[in-house]
Amino acid sequence: MRSRGVVARVPAKVNLQLSVGPLGSDGYHEVTTVFQAISLFDDVSVATAPNGNGLSLDISGQTSNGVPADNSNLAIRAAELMIKNYDLPIDLEIKLKKEIPVAGGMAGGSADAAGVIVGLDSLFELGLSRDEMESVGSKIGSDVPFSICGGVAIGSGRGDQITPALAKGNYFWVLALSGQGLATPSVYQECDRLREGLSIATPQVSEPLMQALRAGDAKALGKSLTNDLQSAACSLRPALRLVLDVGEFRFRHCVVAST
Protein backbone atom coordinates (compact mmCIF):
# COMPACT_ATOMS: atom_id res chain seq x y z
CA MET A 1 0.00 0.00 0.00
CA ARG A 2 1.19 3.53 -0.82
CA SER A 3 1.12 5.11 2.63
CA ARG A 4 1.20 8.73 1.50
CA GLY A 5 -1.79 8.54 -0.79
CA VAL A 6 -2.05 9.16 -4.53
CA VAL A 7 -3.34 11.89 -6.85
CA ALA A 8 -5.16 11.18 -10.11
CA ARG A 9 -5.63 13.95 -12.68
CA VAL A 10 -8.85 13.31 -14.60
CA PRO A 11 -9.96 15.13 -17.78
CA ALA A 12 -13.24 16.66 -18.83
CA LYS A 13 -14.79 15.40 -22.05
CA VAL A 14 -16.74 16.66 -25.01
CA ASN A 15 -19.18 14.64 -27.11
CA LEU A 16 -18.23 14.97 -30.76
CA GLN A 17 -21.32 12.94 -31.56
CA LEU A 18 -24.26 12.18 -29.31
CA SER A 19 -27.01 10.24 -31.03
CA VAL A 20 -29.95 9.30 -28.83
CA GLY A 21 -32.30 6.45 -29.57
CA PRO A 22 -35.93 6.13 -28.46
CA LEU A 23 -36.87 5.84 -24.80
CA GLY A 24 -36.72 2.19 -23.77
CA SER A 25 -39.07 0.26 -21.52
CA ASP A 26 -36.41 0.41 -18.79
CA GLY A 27 -36.59 4.21 -18.76
CA TYR A 28 -33.21 4.65 -20.50
CA HIS A 29 -32.16 5.59 -24.03
CA GLU A 30 -29.75 3.66 -26.18
CA VAL A 31 -27.05 6.09 -27.29
CA THR A 32 -24.11 6.16 -29.63
CA THR A 33 -21.55 8.76 -28.74
CA VAL A 34 -17.98 9.69 -29.59
CA PHE A 35 -16.09 11.03 -26.58
CA GLN A 36 -12.94 13.11 -26.62
CA ALA A 37 -10.97 14.03 -23.50
CA ILE A 38 -9.78 17.64 -23.29
CA SER A 39 -7.10 19.47 -21.33
CA LEU A 40 -9.34 20.68 -18.52
CA PHE A 41 -8.86 18.64 -15.36
CA ASP A 42 -9.95 17.84 -11.81
CA ASP A 43 -7.32 16.55 -9.38
CA VAL A 44 -8.54 13.69 -7.18
CA SER A 45 -6.50 12.77 -4.09
CA VAL A 46 -7.13 9.58 -2.12
CA ALA A 47 -5.32 8.68 1.08
CA THR A 48 -5.78 6.51 4.13
CA ALA A 49 -7.14 8.21 7.26
CA PRO A 50 -6.71 7.39 10.97
CA ASN A 51 -8.83 4.51 12.26
CA GLY A 52 -12.32 5.62 13.15
CA ASN A 53 -12.38 8.66 10.87
CA GLY A 54 -14.50 6.97 8.24
CA LEU A 55 -14.87 8.25 4.69
CA SER A 56 -14.44 12.01 4.24
CA LEU A 57 -14.65 14.35 1.26
CA ASP A 58 -13.05 17.78 0.87
CA ILE A 59 -13.86 19.91 -2.18
CA SER A 60 -12.00 22.98 -3.41
CA GLY A 61 -11.20 24.71 -6.70
CA GLN A 62 -12.77 27.36 -8.90
CA THR A 63 -15.78 25.21 -9.94
CA SER A 64 -16.45 23.70 -6.51
CA ASN A 65 -19.50 25.84 -5.77
CA GLY A 66 -22.63 23.70 -5.67
CA VAL A 67 -20.81 20.36 -5.72
CA PRO A 68 -22.44 18.08 -3.11
CA ALA A 69 -20.21 16.88 -0.29
CA ASP A 70 -22.50 14.06 0.85
CA ASN A 71 -22.98 10.52 -0.43
CA SER A 72 -24.76 11.79 -3.54
CA ASN A 73 -21.33 12.82 -4.84
CA LEU A 74 -20.15 10.25 -7.38
CA ALA A 75 -16.67 10.23 -5.84
CA ILE A 76 -18.14 9.00 -2.55
CA ARG A 77 -20.29 6.44 -4.36
CA ALA A 78 -17.19 5.18 -6.19
CA ALA A 79 -15.26 4.87 -2.94
CA GLU A 80 -18.11 3.00 -1.24
CA LEU A 81 -18.36 0.56 -4.16
CA MET A 82 -14.61 -0.05 -4.21
CA ILE A 83 -14.59 -0.59 -0.43
CA LYS A 84 -17.41 -3.13 -0.76
CA ASN A 85 -16.05 -4.95 -3.82
CA TYR A 86 -12.42 -5.22 -2.69
CA ASP A 87 -12.73 -5.23 1.11
CA LEU A 88 -10.81 -1.98 1.51
CA PRO A 89 -10.49 0.00 4.76
CA ILE A 90 -13.38 2.40 5.36
CA ASP A 91 -11.12 5.13 6.77
CA LEU A 92 -10.29 7.13 3.66
CA GLU A 93 -9.79 10.79 2.81
CA ILE A 94 -10.81 12.06 -0.62
CA LYS A 95 -9.96 15.55 -1.87
CA LEU A 96 -11.32 17.05 -5.07
CA LYS A 97 -9.75 20.10 -6.68
CA LYS A 98 -12.38 21.14 -9.19
CA GLU A 99 -11.69 22.79 -12.54
CA ILE A 100 -14.30 20.98 -14.67
CA PRO A 101 -17.59 22.94 -14.86
CA VAL A 102 -20.53 21.55 -12.90
CA ALA A 103 -23.65 20.35 -14.78
CA GLY A 104 -22.06 21.36 -18.09
CA GLY A 105 -22.17 17.99 -19.85
CA MET A 106 -18.41 17.58 -19.43
CA ALA A 107 -18.49 14.62 -17.02
CA GLY A 108 -17.04 16.43 -14.01
CA GLY A 109 -18.71 14.17 -11.45
CA SER A 110 -17.97 11.08 -13.51
CA ALA A 111 -14.33 12.11 -13.85
CA ASP A 112 -14.07 12.42 -10.07
CA ALA A 113 -15.55 8.95 -9.64
CA ALA A 114 -13.06 7.60 -12.17
CA GLY A 115 -10.23 9.30 -10.28
CA VAL A 116 -11.29 7.59 -7.07
CA ILE A 117 -11.42 4.17 -8.74
CA VAL A 118 -8.01 4.59 -10.37
CA GLY A 119 -6.58 6.15 -7.20
CA LEU A 120 -7.75 3.36 -4.90
CA ASP A 121 -6.48 0.75 -7.33
CA SER A 122 -3.05 2.39 -7.12
CA LEU A 123 -3.17 3.16 -3.39
CA PHE A 124 -3.92 -0.43 -2.41
CA GLU A 125 -2.02 -1.99 -5.34
CA LEU A 126 -5.06 -4.00 -6.44
CA GLY A 127 -3.71 -4.56 -9.95
CA LEU A 128 -7.10 -4.10 -11.64
CA SER A 129 -7.23 -4.09 -15.43
CA ARG A 130 -8.79 -1.15 -17.23
CA ASP A 131 -11.78 -3.35 -18.14
CA GLU A 132 -12.28 -4.23 -14.47
CA MET A 133 -12.15 -0.57 -13.43
CA GLU A 134 -14.54 0.39 -16.24
CA SER A 135 -16.93 -2.33 -15.05
CA VAL A 136 -16.96 -0.80 -11.57
CA GLY A 137 -17.44 2.65 -13.09
CA SER A 138 -20.43 1.57 -15.18
CA LYS A 139 -22.34 0.83 -11.98
CA ILE A 140 -21.93 4.46 -10.90
CA GLY A 141 -22.65 6.41 -14.09
CA SER A 142 -22.65 6.10 -17.87
CA ASP A 143 -19.73 8.49 -18.38
CA VAL A 144 -17.45 6.96 -15.74
CA PRO A 145 -15.99 4.19 -17.95
CA PHE A 146 -14.86 6.74 -20.55
CA SER A 147 -13.35 8.90 -17.81
CA ILE A 148 -11.22 5.87 -16.93
CA CYS A 149 -10.37 5.12 -20.58
CA GLY A 150 -9.69 8.71 -21.76
CA GLY A 151 -8.42 9.68 -25.21
CA VAL A 152 -11.02 9.27 -27.96
CA ALA A 153 -13.59 6.49 -27.77
CA ILE A 154 -16.99 5.34 -28.97
CA GLY A 155 -19.63 4.79 -26.31
CA SER A 156 -22.62 2.55 -26.94
CA GLY A 157 -25.45 1.08 -24.90
CA ARG A 158 -26.05 3.78 -22.30
CA GLY A 159 -22.69 5.26 -23.28
CA ASP A 160 -20.86 2.98 -20.85
CA GLN A 161 -19.70 0.35 -23.34
CA ILE A 162 -16.38 1.80 -24.46
CA THR A 163 -14.38 1.11 -27.61
CA PRO A 164 -11.19 3.18 -28.09
CA ALA A 165 -11.17 4.97 -31.45
CA LEU A 166 -8.33 5.70 -33.86
CA ALA A 167 -7.66 9.43 -34.04
CA LYS A 168 -4.80 11.83 -34.61
CA GLY A 169 -4.15 15.55 -34.56
CA ASN A 170 -4.56 18.42 -32.13
CA TYR A 171 -7.82 20.31 -31.78
CA PHE A 172 -8.55 23.65 -30.16
CA TRP A 173 -12.02 23.89 -28.64
CA VAL A 174 -13.68 27.05 -27.38
CA LEU A 175 -16.03 26.34 -24.50
CA ALA A 176 -18.84 28.77 -23.72
CA LEU A 177 -19.76 28.15 -20.09
CA SER A 178 -23.10 29.32 -18.77
CA GLY A 179 -23.39 30.40 -15.17
CA GLN A 180 -26.21 27.88 -14.73
CA GLY A 181 -25.96 24.22 -15.63
CA LEU A 182 -28.53 21.70 -16.81
CA ALA A 183 -29.44 18.42 -15.12
CA THR A 184 -29.03 15.48 -17.50
CA PRO A 185 -32.43 13.88 -16.66
CA SER A 186 -34.19 17.17 -17.43
CA VAL A 187 -32.51 17.42 -20.82
CA TYR A 188 -33.50 13.86 -21.75
CA GLN A 189 -37.08 14.49 -20.63
CA GLU A 190 -37.24 17.60 -22.80
CA CYS A 191 -35.77 15.63 -25.70
CA ASP A 192 -38.56 13.05 -25.34
CA ARG A 193 -41.16 15.84 -25.22
CA LEU A 194 -39.85 17.42 -28.42
CA ARG A 195 -39.79 14.03 -30.16
CA GLU A 196 -43.25 12.94 -29.08
CA GLY A 197 -45.04 11.14 -31.91
CA LEU A 198 -41.89 10.82 -34.05
CA SER A 199 -40.23 7.60 -35.17
CA ILE A 200 -36.67 7.54 -33.80
CA ALA A 201 -34.04 5.33 -35.42
CA THR A 202 -31.44 3.27 -33.61
CA PRO A 203 -28.33 5.46 -33.29
CA GLN A 204 -25.27 4.73 -35.41
CA VAL A 205 -21.70 6.03 -35.41
CA SER A 206 -21.12 8.85 -37.90
CA GLU A 207 -18.66 7.61 -40.52
CA PRO A 208 -17.78 11.15 -41.74
CA LEU A 209 -16.85 12.09 -38.17
CA MET A 210 -14.71 8.98 -37.72
CA GLN A 211 -12.96 9.63 -41.06
CA ALA A 212 -12.20 13.19 -39.95
CA LEU A 213 -10.70 11.92 -36.69
CA ARG A 214 -8.57 9.33 -38.46
CA ALA A 215 -7.33 11.97 -40.89
CA GLY A 216 -6.75 14.61 -38.22
CA ASP A 217 -8.92 17.00 -40.28
CA ALA A 218 -10.20 19.68 -37.88
CA LYS A 219 -12.41 21.40 -40.49
CA ALA A 220 -14.12 18.17 -41.50
CA LEU A 221 -14.51 17.25 -37.85
CA GLY A 222 -16.20 20.57 -37.11
CA LYS A 223 -18.70 20.01 -39.92
CA SER A 224 -19.46 16.50 -38.61
CA LEU A 225 -20.30 17.39 -34.99
CA THR A 226 -23.79 16.31 -33.93
CA ASN A 227 -25.70 16.28 -30.65
CA ASP A 228 -29.31 15.10 -30.47
CA LEU A 229 -29.72 16.82 -27.10
CA GLN A 230 -28.85 20.28 -28.43
CA SER A 231 -32.45 21.25 -29.23
CA ALA A 232 -33.62 20.09 -25.80
CA ALA A 233 -30.84 22.00 -24.03
CA CYS A 234 -31.60 25.16 -26.00
CA SER A 235 -35.30 24.75 -25.26
CA LEU A 236 -34.58 24.65 -21.54
CA ARG A 237 -31.98 27.47 -21.73
CA PRO A 238 -32.67 29.74 -24.74
CA ALA A 239 -29.46 31.66 -23.99
CA LEU A 240 -27.50 28.58 -25.05
CA ARG A 241 -28.32 29.26 -28.70
CA LEU A 242 -25.65 30.32 -31.13
CA VAL A 243 -25.94 34.05 -30.43
CA LEU A 244 -23.73 34.36 -27.34
CA ASP A 245 -23.85 37.34 -25.02
CA VAL A 246 -20.40 37.91 -23.52
CA GLY A 247 -22.14 39.16 -20.38
CA GLU A 248 -23.74 35.76 -19.96
CA PHE A 249 -20.78 33.53 -20.81
CA ARG A 250 -17.10 33.29 -20.04
CA PHE A 251 -14.78 31.63 -22.52
CA ARG A 252 -12.00 29.12 -21.98
CA HIS A 253 -9.67 27.78 -24.67
CA CYS A 254 -8.66 24.15 -24.37
CA VAL A 255 -6.14 22.12 -26.31
CA VAL A 256 -7.23 18.59 -27.10
CA ALA A 257 -4.42 16.16 -27.88
CA SER A 258 -5.46 12.95 -29.62
CA THR A 259 -3.21 9.98 -30.16
Per-residue 3-state assignment (H helix, E strand, C coil) for 30-78? EEEEEEEEEEEEEEEEEEECCCCCCEEEEEEECCCCCCCCCCCCHHHHH
The answer to whether residue 168 is catalytic is no
Rounded distance between C-alpha atoms, residue 132 and residue 129, angstroms: 5
Beta strands in 99-217 (DSSP E): 152-156, 161-164, 169-178
Rounded distance between C-alpha atoms, residue 120 and residue 94, angstroms: 10
* Helix H or strand E segment including 18: strand 6-23
42, 112, 121, 143: the catalytic one is 143
Rounded distance between C-alpha atoms, residue 72 and residue 97, angstroms: 17
The answer to whether residue 112 is catalytic is no
Rounded distance between C-alpha atoms, residue 224 and residue 205, angstroms: 11
13, 95, 97, 98: the catalytic one is 13
Contact between residue 17 and residue 35 where contact means Cβ atoms under 8 Å apart: no
> Which has the closest alpha carbon to 96: 144, 47, 138, 145?
47
Number of separate helices (H) and strands (E) present in the chain: 8, 9
Rounded distance between C-alpha atoms, residue 209 and residue 16, angstroms: 8
- Active-site amino acid positions: 13, 143
